[in-house]
């Protein structure tokens, strides 16, 4: 794996993706064809697209998945 991948999230969440699993899901966007996940260990937000997943910062996550941040 390259150094860029190793700098994303933590070993736990990277390991989940590598094993075909994923961190807990927070929201789904049918419009964007994507899902928002957040690692329970390090708190990194991940955006799962149709063919890959990558980290996303909290500001972008709040903008694209506001439903994940509503408080009831």
pTM: 0.90
**pLDDT tens track of the chain, all 72 residues?**
578 999 999 999 999 999 999 999 999 999 999 999 999 999 999 999 999 999 999 999 999 999 999 865
pLDDT value at residue 27: 97
H or E segment to which residue 3 belongs: helix 3-6
Between CA 64 and CA 56 the distance in angstroms is 10
């Amino acid at each position: 794996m390259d150094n860029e991948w190793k700098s994303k999230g933590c070993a736990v969440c990277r390991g989940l993706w590598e094993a075909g699993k994923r961190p807990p899901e927070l929201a789904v966007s049918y419009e964007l064809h994507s899902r928002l996940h957040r690692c329970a260990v390090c708190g990194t937000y991940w955006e799962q697209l149709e063919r890959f997943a990558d980290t996303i910062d909290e500001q972008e996550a709040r903008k694209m998945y506001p439903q994940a941040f509503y408080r009831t």
